[in-house]
Amino acid sequence: MTFVKAKKHLGQHFLKDENIAQKIVNSLSEDAFSKVLEIGPGMGVLTKYLFQKKNFETKIIDIDRESIAFLKNKFPDFKNNILEGDFLQQDISGYFNEPFAIIGNFPYNISSQILFKVLENKNQVVEIVGMFQKEVAERIAAKTRTKAYGILSVLVQAFFETEYLFTVNESVFAPPPKVKSAVIRLKRKQKYQLDCDEKLFFDVVKTGFNQRRKMLRNGLSKFQFSEAQKAHPFFTKRAEELTVDDFVEITNWVSISKK
């Protein structure tokens, strides 16, 4: 087998630019962890550089059986580190017995799901370096009061420092996607537990942005607030104007009203 056929239903667009591949791998922090998981390695353009880094123990996972067979043939010395499976369906604690980083040219159709899976397992994932659709990358790294700032921005930035690293053109993939791509780096915050009910926080953020053009007094109307709280300036703002800390404060108000 000399190559793997890209499968549309898996959202596969194989990176073919070696310089960009090396740049992505080199974007991983060198001293914050020693374990790395690559998701969706395809034909191994990132994998090659990951396996060259002796200070990392790298495992790779792909749902595509053809890719797995290709990679085991290409990297016979690492075949025990090449895993077939669906990252979204597996218990993330089974990969390593210590915190680890995640890297990948993520399939665009599941990239947000990968992030939500990471957020559920933030105790174990300390860093992510990933290729995303440019529009999604911009949303993840967006600042308040911008059009791109939304649910994904708040939920990711609650736990990770975000960096938009660089944009990648369509021509460096086979087959080329119809959109530009971007690489971002997420580093878990030193304090990554919120001072509120995190499940409720997710609900408050999602509810607030469901009607993002409305002021929060309308967008959050399903929750109970005191008259004094309703008089707070938060409620005359839109969700895109609030920081993570603002949403934490509102979540605590909701918690109190439920007691």
**Tens-level pLDDT at each residue, the chain (259 residues):** 567 887 888 887 889 999 999 999 999 998 889 999 999 999 999 999 999 999 999 999 999 999 999 999 999 999 999 999 999 999 998 899 999 999 999 988 899 999 999 999 999 999 999 999 999 999 999 999 999 999 999 999 999 999 999 999 999 999 889 999 999 999 999 999 999 999 999 999 999 999 888 899 999 999 999 898 989 999 999 999 999 999 999 999 998 876 5
For CA atoms 91, 95, 96, 99, the dihedral sign is: negative
If one looks up domain 8-188 in CATH, what number appears?
A: 3.40.50.150
Helix axes 198-210, 244-258, angle to 10 degrees: 110
Report pTM. 0.93
Q: How many CB atoms lie within 10 A of CB 165?
A: 17
Domain residue limits, the chain: 8-188, 198-258
CA distances from 246 to 65, 96, 210, 228, 259 (A): 45, 35, 17, 16, 21
Burial class (CB in 10 A: 0-12, 13-18, 19+), 103: buried
For residues 239 and 156, give the distance between their C-alpha atoms in angstroms, rounded to a whole number: 15
Q: What is the largest CA-CA distance in the chain?
A: 68
If one looks up domain 198-258 in CATH, what number appears?
A: 1.10.8.100
Name, in order, each residue with C-beta under 8 angstroms of 172's C-beta and a sequence gap of 6 or more: 15, 16, 17, 20
Contact 63, 4 (CB under 8 A): no
SS3 248: helix
Name, in order, each residue with C-beta under 8 angstroms of 198's C-beta and a sequence gap of 6 or more: none
Looking at residue 1, what is its pLDDT? Answer: 55
Looking at residue 12, what is its pLDDT? Answer: 78
Looking at residue 88, what is its pLDDT? Answer: 95
